[in-house]
Amino acid sequence: MFEPRTALQGAHFSGDITVTDAGLVGMIAIRGSLTDPALCAAVAEVTGHPVPATRKMSGDATDGLAWMSADELMLFCAYGDAPTVAARLVDALGDVHSMVSVLSDARAVIRLHGDVVREVLAKGAPVDLAPDQFAQGDIRRSRLGQVAVAFWMTGADSAELVCFRSVAGFVFEWLSTASQSGSAVGYFATPRR
């Protein structure tokens, strides 16, 4: 009876690329000093990911750890696991000055797939998306059109994007518009698969 719902409720669009609601994703914001060895050890132990370097990400939205700021990480895990993982993080961090908050429901994750994924993002984000400038393992927080987003490549022709829940509909509509069939720019070399 009480099935949790994502903001996009499984929405899917297919044009120059596909735009798909990633469904429920566990997300935990971890704030603390990323240069504190105790914090890094605790985070690595609980998440299985090393604390990523600046603007880097380990893994993806199914299981990943992303650098969000100098004192903030975002952990991605299974939706149902987030509360217990968060509790384990709090335990492991002990007295380390830190903050762990579950934000699984505050955001929406969208998956993008297709040859021109980079181009679709480059229509809205003021970011150099050339393959040699933005590669798998990088994460960029920026804006898409008028709203804040973060995105990362998950393969040569796929990416994931996270935005606030309240604007998920706007972002989905924006991505669908920018990737309507026949809108390819032909600027970045087609990825080799």
Partner 1 sequence: MSTRIQSGGRLIDRSRKIGFTFNGQRLTGHPGDTLASALLGSGQVLMGRSFKYHRPRGPVGAGSEEPNALMGLGQGAHFEPNQRATVAELHDGLAATSQNHWPSLDMDVGALNAAMSRFFPAGFYYKTFMAPRSAWKHVFEPVIRKAAGLGKAPTQPDADRYEYFYAYVDVLVVGGGMAGLQAALEAGRAGARVLLLEQTAHLGGRLLSDEVEIDGQPSDIWLAAAVAELQGMDNVTIRTRMMGAGVYDHGYVTGYERLTDHLENATGPRHRLWRIRTDRIVTATGAIERPLSFAGNDVPGVMLAAALRDYVTLYGVTPGDRTVVVTNNDDAYRTAIALKLAGLEVPVILDARDAAIGPLPRQARDLGIRVEVGKGVASVKGGKKVEAVEICSQAGEGTVLETIPCDAVAMSGGWSPVVHLWSHCGGKLVWDVDQAHFRPDASRPPTDHNGAGYVITAGSASGALLSGDAMQDAAAAGRRAAAEVGFIPSEGDAPTAMAEPEEPVQPVWMMPAGASYKLRSKAFLDFQNDVKVSDVQLAAQEGFESVEHAKRYTTLGMATDQGKLSNINGLAVLADSLGTTIPQVGTTTFRPPYTPISMGAIAGEARGAIFKPTRKSPIDGWHDENDAVWEPVADWRRPYTYRRAGETTEQAVHREIRNTRTNVGLLDASTLGKILVKGPDAAKFLDLIYTNMMSSLKPGRCRYGLMCTENGFLFDDGVVVRLSEDSFLCHTTSGGSDGVHAWMEEWLQTEWWDLEVFTSNVTEQFAQVAVVGPKARQLLESLGGMDVSKEALSFMGYAEGELGGIPARVFRISFSGELSYEIGVPASYGRAFWDMLLEKGAALGVMPYGTEALHVMRAEKGFIMIGDETDGTVTPHDLALGWAVSKKKEDFIGKRALQRPDMIRADRKQLVGLATEDPATVLPDGAHAVAGVNEYGDPKTIGHVTSTYFSPTMERSIAMALIDGGAGRMGEVLEFPVGKDSVIRATVVDPVFYDKAGERQDV
Partner 2 sequence: MLRLTCPVCGATGEETEFHAGGEAHLKRFGPGSTDEDFRDYLFQRQNPRGVHFERWRHQYGCGKWFHVARCTQTLEVFGSYTAQTSTVPDHIQSAIKARRPDWEPAQ
Binding to partner 2 by residue 123, rule CB under 8 A? no
CA dihedral 80, 48, 20, 183 (to 10 degrees): 160
Residues 101-160 that bind partner 1 (CB under 8 A): 101-107, 119, 122-130, 133, 145-147
**Looking at 2, 3, 54, 186, which residue binds partner 2 (CB under 8 A)?**
54
Q: Do residues 125 and 151 touch, judged by C-beta distance below 8 A? A: yes
Please identify, using beta-carbon distances, which residue of 48 and 97 lies nearer to partner 1. 97
Which range touches partner 2 (CB under 8 A), out of 42-50, 87-95, 137-145, 179-187? 137-145
Q: Do residues 170 and 164 touch, judged by C-beta distance below 8 A? A: no
Side by side, the strands of the sheet bearing 107-113 are 12-14, 18-21, 107-113, 158-164, 147-155, 139-144
Binding to partner 1 by residue 167, rule CB under 8 A? yes
**Looking at 17, 24, 39, 57, which residue binds partner 1 (CB under 8 A)?**
24
Binding to partner 1 by residue 162, rule CB under 8 A? no
The DSSP output letter for 34 is T
Q: Residue 127 to residues 34, 60, 64, 87, 186: CA-CA distances in angstroms?
A: 25, 20, 22, 36, 17
Sequence length of the chain is: 193
**Looking at 9, 14, 35, 69, which residue binds partner 2 (CB under 8 A)?**
69
**Looking at 36, 71, 81, 138, which residue binds partner 1 (CB under 8 A)?**
71
Q: Minimum distance between the CB of residue 138 and partner 2, rounded to whole angstroms?
A: 10
Q: Minimum distance between the CB of residue 159 and partner 2, rounded to whole angstroms?
A: 17
